[in-house]
Amino acid sequence: PAAAAVAVSDESVYRSASGLSGRKGAGDQEEEDQPLQAVLVADSFNRRFFPVTKDQPRALLPLGNVAMIDYTLEFLTSTGVQETFVFCCWMASKIKAHLQKSKWCRPSSPNTVHIITSDLYRSLGDVLRDVDAKSLVRSDFVLVYGDVVSNIDISQALQEHRHRRKMDKNISVMTMIFKESSPGHRSRCEEDDVIVAVDSKSQQILHYQKTQGLKKLQFPMVNSCIFGSLDEFEIRHDLLDSHISICSPQVAELFTDNFDYQTRDDFVRGLLVNEEILGNQIHVHVTKDGYGVRVSNLLMYDSVSSDLVRRWVYPLTPEANFTDQEGHSCTYSRHNVYRASGVSLGHGSQMEENVLISCDTSIGANCYISNSVIGDNCIIGDNVVLDHAYIWNHVHIASNVEIIQSVICDKAEVKEGVTLKKQCVLAYDVVIGPNISLPEGTVVSMHHPEEEEEEDDDEFLSDDAEVGHRSDKTKQKVFNPAEVGAEGKGYIWKASSLDDTEEEELSQCLWGRAAVHRHGTVFHMEVLGTLQRGLEENISCDNLVLEINSLKYAYNISLKEVMQILTRVVLEYPFQQQGSHLTPSQYVALLLPLLKKWAPVFKNYVKRAQDHLDCLSAFEEHFLEQESHWAAMVKVLMNMYELEILEEEMILRWFSQGATGDKSRQLRKNQGVSTV
Amino acid sequence: MPGPYKETDLTERVEAFLSDLKRGGTGAGPLRGSAETARETTALLRKITAQARWGSAGDLMEIIRKEGRRMTAAQPSETTVGNMIRRVLKIIREEYARSRGSSEEADQESLHKLLTSGGLSEENFRQHFAPLKANVIEAINELLTELEGTTDNIAMQALEHIHSNEVIMTIGRSRTVEAFLKDAARKRKFHVIVAECAPFCQGHEMATNLSKAGIETTVITDAAIFAVMSRVNKVIIGTQTVLANGGLRAINGTHTLALAAKHHSTPLIVCAPMFKLSPQFPNEEDTFHKFVSPHEVLPFTEGNICKKTDLNHVPTFGKSFSDLDISSLSFFFFLNTSHFSLRISGEILSKVNVHCPVFDYVPPELITLFISNIGGHAPSYIYRLMSELYHPEDHEL
């Protein structure tokens, strides 16, 4: 997959790229004077914003009425970057058109922007491999995503990075920039919550882990010699990942060498694991000032928008009009109310606080607006209540509408008497109403969710031209008036309408609810696969243990979970192979040899008293689900006892210990007859 | 073909200046002093005059007005830029009038003439004079030299105003006031009290600089201004802008200081170079205020948990860490109760609205004296200086 990265690309870029590589060997002394370069990844490689990003790439979604990529470019330019490579994949032509119109592509821009497009980028890894293949970067470069909003001054971090690189040649490959921010702050993304262990003196990262909503975290001491030799290290949970990193050219090379690195997390994890072998280090730079947040889901979109309006990102404020768009200047008045030219406000309407209204929008009488952003040329009726509403351009909202914490995309229409509860999304061109109330978390799009399912994979790659083509093809499905109102147009997107793997991604998609058990299930599948292979290829139990252990680290699973998942996998194994119609006697016949074979694996994990109980509780759980196989249970348990997987004492303790439900009490009774 | 090349070079310079202005000031006022901004603006205008294509004075004025509008829009609170543009426009008018052989001075003297003639209209600037360009550039150079010397000119007057053993109060940091006080310190011995000027606290820097120069310096909080005022002989402050009515737009807290001074009848002296004089009035609300990131008032974050972990105190199954074989073990990290309270503070932080304005308006009646590079003036005299410096038609760019 790595080789595929070099692909369809802009001719002009090729020319300049070859020009650059010619100069590459200019010598190390000049490194300091070389213009600072940046790699901007204008694609998220995920579908968080999905029904919305179907029509517009994420980097172009408006935040405070300015496309997100403009914030990133402004950040790069103000920090002194002179050459930026913008990598686009999804809807590349739109991004390209946007950039060519913007001030970044004017000849007077201090930051030269090269746009590189390819349909074959599937991850950050592919992009960086391409950077390496085309040898675009000559010295240290800044790596950001196209949806980062920041005003952090990275010059100090850059200096530190260069200093480190000078001191020990090429050991430090990356400096990640973090912003101090207390846990629970709205600008901290739940998904990106990290815990970092850092050497206090050198600021080197010793351990990096996403919390994934867990309350208890485990720090492996595998690299104990590092921990041990240090006087002092910090474990910090008050850091907000700004997704800005300063990379050495080796980063691109390392991505080429390790073609399995997909994301920056893979890279960081890989580098930390192999630190002793490769000797590469990653450092952090923690900043107290400035603002740096990635808009990774709609919840973040909400908080970044409100931070922007509350001027946390100064000098990137709405009235600064840093993109130099004609007619987009607005005035700023008390309580953070911004108004562009041509805004009309009806009698008795109130703009409470933190409101941004872009040009030529008219608002009717007796409206109440707070904490909202409204785009160009919108028409809003009378008696409308908007709170935390993000209304993009050319939206029509009729009278008596109430919208709370929702996003309404371009050209959508909301008819009379509609109520949008929290976290609703109306994608492009949707019509809702009249007189309907959408429940919390409703997502409405003009694209039918099923059309998505049918052509899943190529969808991700397709160009916008293809999208247009597809919409012709869409069968004329009828809009459901119960869902979108009598005159409504649009389909409701439900998480349940998608298959399982998609569901996890989508449920956290727009508003970013964290999926906590995700790693558990993947781990489950992996363990199952390992055991299956072990059986087929007759792998010894020691090796199986080794593999499971490595999986445990890869997915960051606690020992207890490993045990429970292992127990369940083994117990379910016969069903897995033969289907669920087995009779109890058949089940036992299949299971017993397996247990015998894998007993050493169990013994490796089940050691302490608590382990036995955990194993038993998994055992109990399994049989609670398989009521018809209770007859087999005793035999299995006996067998496990005989194989010395479980101790008698523990079984008795488990037996006497509290049964939590009616069913489990029954289960115990059933089995108790024989054991006792 | 030097023409087009020159022009792209020029637009590049202008763009760079514009984006500099837009980014200028991360909170604690502009990154560089307004004297520097004034010089840069003038130098840029000289470059425009030299390199842009224009045939008559009218064309040039149009070009400068157009660029000027963009420059003032980039950072409306930085009035120095607009002032320098007006000065240059005035220079062009004068040079044009001189080339024609008439003096414009007479027009302004009589109210009757002012009303009937309506000033020189744009058509009158259409005439072409070959030496005009050189003359204008010459005059702009003179303006630049004048700008170079402003701080020194103000500082030179220090000995007339500061006497021995006086107690002087100032607020925040002004480069002009700093030079003023340092100049006086060469001959006189006096005591300076500096109000720190929260939340940016530039007063601290000011105090350090003054004490380095051997001046006895005390830093006080802004809240103590009134209490300390009774001991003060003179208040000397800098300002960001002098408004057309003789009022000030100065750093936050100056109004408090001025009122306290008024209450104690302490004279309030403002050191302000002429280029800070703006034809703006305090009622222009849109551009008057400047609000910056609330970061300084309420930090984005406070504290961090479990900093500097000592290995021996990490709970590991009830054993002390040293008893265990490190290589085979992992230790747990609990997000404990202290974390919980932090989480609460984080949540509250995100609900709070914080405003952080930078400037205060100080009405003219609170000011005793302005000291500019051309001498001392009362606030009531400002209108006169205004009409000398700027042409009335240039007040609106």
pLDDT top residue among A552 and A421: A421
**B-interface mutation test, from A75, A106, A108, most B Cβ less than 10 A away:** A108
What is the Cα–Cα distance from A648 to A632, expressed in whole angstroms?
A: 19
- Within an 8 Å CB–CB cutoff, is residue B285 touching chain A? yes
A48 token code pair: 């968080």
Instruction: Indicate the residue of B8, B23, B343 with minimum beta-carbon distance to A108.
Output: B8
Give the residues across from A240 on adjacent strands: A179
Check whether residue B198 and residue B271 sit in a common domain: yes
Beta strands in B28-143 (DSSP E): none
- Within an 8 Å CB–CB cutoff, is residue B340 touching chain A? no
CB half-sphere exposure, A334, CA atoms < 13 A: 3
Which pLDDT score is estimated for A106? Answer: 83
Check whether residue B97 and residue B189 sit in a common domain: no
Place of tokens 């974050």: B301
Check whether residue B207 and residue B257 sit in a common domain: yes
Which pLDDT score is estimated for A52? Answer: 84
Check whether residue A274 and residue A331 sit in a common domain: no
Residue B77 lies in a domain: yes
Helices (H), A403-485: 449-454, 456-461, 464-473, 481-484
Q: Kindly report, residue by residue over A564-601, the tens digit of the pLDDT.
A: 888 888 887 777 777 767 777 888 888 888 888 888 88
ipTM: 0.80
Question: Judged by CB atoms within 8 Å, which residues 40-79 of B form the interface with A?
Answer: 73
Residue A283 lies in a domain: yes
CA of B389 vs chain A CAs: smallest distance (Å): 29
Residue B239 lies in a domain: yes
Describe the crossing of helices A559-578 and A609-625 by its angle, rounded to 10 degrees: 30
Check whether residue B274 and residue B181 sit in a common domain: yes
A501 token code pair: 């793997």
Check whether residue B78 and residue B191 sit in a common domain: no
The amino acid present at A132, given as its one-letter code, is D
Residue A501 lies in a domain: no
Instruction: Indicate the residue of B286, B289, B339 with minimum beta-carbon distance to A237.
Output: B339
Residue A659 has pLDDT above 80, yes or no: no
DSSP 3-state assignment of A519?
helix
Q: Which residues of B touch A182 (CB under 8 A)?
A: 301-304, 342-343, 345-346, 349
What is the Cα–Cα distance from B324 to A317, expressed in whole angstroms?
A: 54
Check whether residue B254 and residue B382 sit in a common domain: yes
Q: Kindly report, residue by residue over A181-220, the tens digit of the pLDDT.
A: 877 777 777 777 888 888 888 888 888 888 776 666 666 6
Q: What is the CATH number of the domain that holds B92?
A: 1.20.120.420
Check whether residue A548 and residue A639 sit in a common domain: yes
Check whether residue B85 and residue B228 sit in a common domain: no
Asked if A108's CB is within 8 angstroms of B15's CB, the reply is yes
Instruction: Indicate the residue of A108, A188, A234 with minimum beta-carbon distance to B307.
Output: A234
Q: Which domain holds residue B42?
A: 4-24+31-101+130-150
- Within an 8 Å CB–CB cutoff, is residue A331 touching chain B? yes
Asked if A312's CB is within 8 angstroms of B347's CB, the reply is no
Q: What is the CATH number of the domain that holds A402?
A: 2.160.10.10
Q: Kindly report, residue by residue over B276-332, the tens digit of the pLDDT.
A: 999 988 876 666 778 888 888 877 764 333 333 333 344 333 333 333 333 333 334
Check whether residue A425 and residue A559 sit in a common domain: no
Check whether residue A284 and residue A379 sit in a common domain: no
- Considering only A441-445, A650-654, B91-95, B152-156, which range has the smallest mean pLDDT? A650-654
Q: Which residues of B touch A188 (CB under 8 A)?
A: 346
Asked if A187's CB is within 8 angstroms of B354's CB, the reply is no
Check whether residue A566 and residue A439 sit in a common domain: no
pLDDT top residue among A354 and A474: A354
- CA-based radius of gyration for chain A: 29
Which pLDDT score is estimated for B111? Answer: 59
Residue A26 lies in a domain: no
User: Are β-strands A141-145 and A239-247 bridged in parallel, bridged antiparallel, or unpaired?
Assistant: antiparallel
Asked if A354's CB is within 8 angstroms of B304's CB, the reply is no
Which pLDDT score is estimated for B178? Answer: 94
Mean pLDDT for the stretch of residues B85-93: 92
B244 token code pair: 């057309």
Instruction: Indicate the residue of A216, A311, A331 with minimum beta-carbon distance to B291.
Output: A311
DSSP 3-state assignment of B241?
strand
Check whether residue B259 and residue B365 sit in a common domain: yes
Residue A458 lies in a domain: no
CA angle A47, A49, A51 (to 5 degrees): 90
Give me chain A's average pLDDT, please.
78
Q: How many domains does chain A have?
A: 3
What is the Cα–Cα distance from A222 to A9, expressed in whole angstroms?
A: 43
Question: What confidence category does residue A546 fall into, taking pLDDT thresholds of 50, 70 and 90?
Answer: confident
CA of B362 vs chain A CAs: smallest distance (Å): 19
Asked if B326's CB is within 8 angstroms of A221's CB, the reply is yes
What is the Cα–Cα distance from A537 to B39, expressed in whole angstroms?
A: 80
CB count in 10 Å sphere of residue A662: 8
Instruction: Indicate the residue of A108, A288, A289 with minimum beta-carbon distance to B11.
Output: A108
Residue B322 lies in a domain: no
Residue A158 has pLDDT above 70, yes or no: yes
Give the burial class of A612: count Cβ atoms within 10 A of its Cβ; 0-12 exposed, 13-18 middle, 19 or more buried. Answer: buried
Q: What is the CATH number of the domain that holds A569?
A: 1.25.40.180
Check whether residue A101 and residue A239 sit in a common domain: yes
Which pLDDT score is estimated for A389? Answer: 93
Place of tokens 């950039």: A99
CB half-sphere exposure, B394, CA atoms < 13 A: 25
Check whether residue A196 and residue A55 sit in a common domain: yes
**Please, are residues B354 and B348 in contact by the beta-carbon 8 Å criterion?**
no
Residues in CB range of A416: below 8 A, 6 or more apart: A381, A398, A399, A400, A401, A433, A434, A435
Residue A124 lies in a domain: yes
Between the CA of residue B11 and those of A106, A289, B4, B37, what are the distances in Å? 10, 33, 11, 18
- Checking A96-103 for CB contacts under 8 A at 24+ apart, the result is A98/A60, A98/A67, A98/A69, A99/A69, A102/A70, A102/A73, A102/A323, A103/A323, A103/A324
Q: How many domains does chain B have?
A: 2
The amino acid present at A85, given as its one-letter code, is F
Domain ends where: A428, A449, A470?
A: A449
- Within an 8 Å CB–CB cutoff, is residue A238 touching chain B? yes
Residue B13 lies in a domain: yes
Residue B272 lies in a domain: yes
Q: Kindly report, residue by residue over A286-336, the tens digit of the pLDDT.
A: 988 888 898 888 888 888 998 899 888 888 888 877 877 777 778 888 888
Helix (H) or strand (E) holding B359: strand B359-362
Which pLDDT score is estimated for A1? Answer: 33
Domain ends where: A425, A449, A473?
A: A449
Pick the residue from chain B with its C-alpha nearest to A323: B19
CA of B231 vs chain A CAs: smallest distance (Å): 37
Q: What is the CATH number of the domain that holds A227?
A: 3.90.550.10
Between the CA of residue B222 and those of A528, B135, B201, B225, B292, what are the distances in Å? 69, 50, 10, 6, 20
Residue A243 lies in a domain: yes
Q: Which domain holds residue A445?
A: 326-449
Instruction: Indicate the residue of B286, B309, B345 with minimum beta-carbon distance to A182.
Output: B345
Check whether residue B134 and residue B161 sit in a common domain: no
Within its chain, how far is the Cα of A278 from the centroid? Answer: 28
Asked if A182's CB is within 8 angstroms of B303's CB, the reply is yes
Check whether residue A247 and residue A366 sit in a common domain: no
Scored b (16 or more CB within 10 A) or e, B28-46 reads bbbeebbbebbbbbbbbbb
Q: Which of B260, B216, B212, B214 is nearest to B237 (CA)?
A: B260
- Within an 8 Å CB–CB cutoff, is residue B306 touching chain A? yes
- Considering only A225-234, A498-507, B80-89, which range has the smallest mean pLDDT? A498-507
Check whether residue A78 and residue A224 sit in a common domain: yes
Check whether residue A347 and residue A209 sit in a common domain: no
Q: Which of A403, A412, A465 is nearest to A437 (CA)?
A: A403
Residue A200 lies in a domain: yes
What is the Cα–Cα distance from A339 to A331, expressed in whole angstroms?
A: 5
Which pLDDT score is estimated for B325? Answer: 34
What is the Cα–Cα distance from A85 to A68, expressed in whole angstroms?
A: 16
What is the Cα–Cα distance from B392 to B109, expressed in whole angstroms?
A: 13
Check whether residue B145 and residue B158 sit in a common domain: no
Q: What is the CATH number of the domain that holds B263?
A: 3.40.50.10470
Eight-class DSSP state of A367: -
Which pLDDT score is estimated for B254? Answer: 94
**Please, are residues A397 and A379 in contact by the beta-carbon 8 Å criterion?**
yes
Eight-class DSSP state of A39: E
Question: What confidence category does residue A393 fall into, taking pLDDT thresholds of 50, 70 and 90?
Answer: very high
CB count in 10 Å sphere of residue A589: 14
Q: Which residues of B touch A321 (CB under 8 A)?
A: 73
**Please, are residues A501 and A560 in contact by the beta-carbon 8 Å criterion?**
no
Sign of the alpha-carbon torsion through B272, B274, B275, B278: positive
Residue B319 lies in a domain: no
- Considering only A119-123, A217-221, A635-639, which range has the smallest mean pLDDT? A217-221
CB count in 10 Å sphere of residue A670: 14
Between the CA of residue A192 and those of A178, A187, A213, A235, B90, what are the distances in Å? 12, 11, 10, 16, 58
Instruction: Indicate the residue of A187, A217, A320 with minimum beta-carbon distance to B333.
Output: A217
Asked if B293's CB is within 8 angstroms of A311's CB, the reply is yes
CA of A160 vs chain B CAs: smallest distance (Å): 22
Mean pLDDT for the stretch of residues A644-662: 72
Residue B323 lies in a domain: no
Check whether residue B138 and residue B158 sit in a common domain: no
Scored b (16 or more CB within 10 A) or e, A626-659 reads beebeebbbbbbebbeebebbeeebbeebeeeeb
Check whether residue A598 and residue A535 sit in a common domain: yes
**Please, are residues B226 and B261 in contact by the beta-carbon 8 Å criterion?**
no
Check whether residue A82 and residue A153 sit in a common domain: yes
Instruction: Indicate the residue of B27, B311, B346 with minimum beta-carbon distance to A184.
Output: B346
Check whether residue B79 and residue B141 sit in a common domain: yes
Asked if B346's CB is within 8 angstroms of A185's CB, the reply is yes
Residue B327 lies in a domain: no
Residue A675 lies in a domain: no
Question: Judged by CB atoms within 8 Å, which residues 349-388 of A form the interface with B?
Answer: 353-354
Q: How many interface pairs between A and B have CB atoms less than 8 angstroms apart?
A: 163
Residue A496, phi then psi, degrees to nearest 5: -70, -20
Question: What confidence category does residue B199 fall into, taking pLDDT thresholds of 50, 70 and 90?
Answer: confident
What is the Cα–Cα distance from A567 to A537, expressed in whole angstroms?
A: 21
